[in-house]
Amino acid sequence: MNLENNLAFAKAQDAADKLKEFRSQFLFPKHNDKEFIYLCGNSLGLQPKAAKSALEGQLDNWANYAVEGWFDGQAPWMYYHKELKKLMAPIVGALPAEVCPMNTLTVNLHLLMVSFYQPTNKRFKILMEGGAFPSDQYAIESQVRFHGFDPNESIIEVFPREGEELLHTDDIIAKIAENADEIALVLFGGINYYTGQWYDMEKITKAGHSIGAIVGWDLAHAAGNVPVRLHDWEVDFACWCSYKYQNSGPGGISGIFVHQKHFDNKNLNRFAGWWGYQENNRFKMEKGFVPEPGADGWQVSCTQVMPMALYHASLQIFEKAGFIDPLRNKSIALTNYLEFIVKQVNVDLGFEQYKIITPSDSINRGAQLSIIAKEKGKRIFDGLVKKHVLGDWREPDVIRLCPIPLYNSFEDIYQTGQILLALSKNILN
């Protein structure tokens, strides 16, 4: 398709959009009664209009049933998480038994590492992306120390080549091979939060398994954004937050994945809790932990009903949209259009003020562009916010813009380009 930098083209794309109806199911922030162009779903997704009624419904259950809500009503809390499992599984390419909503992301990362990071004196190292999100860095460092190892000797970070922003898959695989006898765990983010690079999860998983390592993924920026196939790729474990691309609200409940090949492995450690105990016998209150089969056996505390209600409201929208594949098609189109518009801004300015560091090939990125503003970036970002365009800022010079297929439009992208060009001309001259 030949892209065009004009309003008529953007409106025509929106008119032909098969997913356009879903935009009306979300609430956009406003200032002075004017809606923002919201391009920050990679940080916090918009509130579904259904979220309020979903939460109120559970508050009504609490009011009407009190403690009996665990077993009474249309969706007893005791089994409520099972409704979510059926909707979560298609988003990450899993079987329902392999996923479970629980806790928050970093808590789940720790719980899963208890099971899947089992270092020995010979095989004790963890390979991760250099410059990973701080939570991952801190979690991995603390887990290594917990086992009595020195992080400086035990953590292998893979950084981009000198002068580059992105990682090469070949470099990651080479680093795995180079440390084949010492790596216990390969633990990467599916998409790098800073650059927006989507790593080749299938190839990296195969490379890790080829040397006898466990492979896990933090899907904070990938789940609900790009099509992943955790079961088919035989990923050992994964976890993700749900408040970014999956719109479950600030601090929303996390999800975990454990491949079914590990369900019967009695050698896995785990930090057990009552809610992970075998469901049919849970209320016998007996000593000796017997896990519920599947990912549910990694639960620790009881079902978080209110956060689950918010997540459920959003997951039902994903179901109506056809889950990830239709959304991915629109996501590629929107992000490609945003890339085109940003490059057109540079053309109109007569120089490269904005350098896109996210991969240019759509197969290597999700719904995000990370853009280096070469001059006066923070001032330009602040100007965008004042003009009702809300992305986010990452020090020292990166503006992240994220067009979400459920609620962003091509006109959003076109108008963002017009505002960015006008601001740039004003601020840079």
User: Average pLDDT over the chain, rounded to whole?
Assistant: 97
DSSP of 147-193, one letter per residue?
Answer: TT--HHHHEEEE-PPTT-SS--HHHHHHHHHHTTTTEEEEEEESB-T
Judge contact between 340 and 5, C-beta under 8 A.
yes
- Verify that 332 and 352 share a domain, yes or no: yes
> Is 288 a member of any domain?
yes
> Is 49 a member of any domain?
no
Q: Domain total for the chain? A: 2
Q: What whole-number distance in Å separates Cα of residue 263 and Cα of residue 276?
A: 13
Cis peptide before 396 (omega within 30 of 0): yes
- Verify that 292 and 345 share a domain, yes or no: no
Answer yes or no: is pLDDT of 1 > 90. no
> Is 286 a member of any domain?
yes
Q: How does strand 30-31 pair with strand 354-356?
A: unpaired
- Verify that 375 and 232 share a domain, yes or no: no
Judge contact between 215 and 209, C-beta under 8 A.
yes
Judge contact between 307 and 249, C-beta under 8 A.
yes
Which tens digits make up the pLDDT trace of 44-76? 999 999 999 999 999 999 999 999 999 998 889
Q: What whole-number distance in Å separates Cα of residue 340 and Cα of residue 348?
A: 12
**Phi, psi of 218, rounded to the nearest 5 degrees:** -95, 115
- Verify that 235 and 316 share a domain, yes or no: yes
- Verify that 69 and 29 share a domain, yes or no: no
End position of a domain, from candidates 321, 354, 377: 321
Q: What pLDDT score does 397 carry?
A: 96
Q: What whole-number distance in Å separates Cα of residue 46 and Cα of residue 39?
A: 10
Q: What pLDDT score does 6 carry?
A: 98
Answer yes or no: is pLDDT of 350 > 90. yes
> Is 45 a member of any domain?
no
Binning pLDDT at 50, 70 and 90, where does residue 354 land? very high
Which tens digits make up the pLDDT trace of 266-295? 889 999 999 999 999 999 999 999 999 999
- Verify that 140 and 207 share a domain, yes or no: yes
**CATH (domain of 161):** 3.40.640.10
Judge contact between 367 and 359, C-beta under 8 A.
no
**CATH (domain of 340):** 3.90.1150.10
Q: What whole-number distance in Å separates Cα of residue 150 and Cα of residue 268?
A: 23
> Is 1 a member of any domain?
no
Instruction: Write down the pTM of the prediction.
Output: 0.97
- Verify that 240 and 222 share a domain, yes or no: yes
- Verify that 264 and 380 share a domain, yes or no: no
The pLDDT > 70 percentage for the chain reads 100
- Verify that 136 and 185 share a domain, yes or no: yes
Binning pLDDT at 50, 70 and 90, where does residue 239 land? very high
- Verify that 90 and 236 share a domain, yes or no: yes
> Is 269 a member of any domain?
yes
Nearest CA among 122, 118, 80, 380 for reference residue 253: 80
Q: What pLDDT score does 75 carry?
A: 86
End position of a domain, from candidates 321, 348, 382: 321
Which two three-digit tokens encode residue 310? 């918010």
Which tens digits make up the pLDDT trace of 110-129? 999 999 999 999 999 999 99
Q: Which long-range contacts (CB under 8 A, 24 or more apart) does 384-387 make?
A: 384/416, 384/419, 384/420, 384/423, 387/419, 387/423
End position of a domain, from candidates 281, 297, 321: 321
> Is 293 a member of any domain?
yes
- Verify that 290 and 344 share a domain, yes or no: no
- Verify that 145 and 264 share a domain, yes or no: yes
Q: Which domain holds residue 76?
A: 54-321
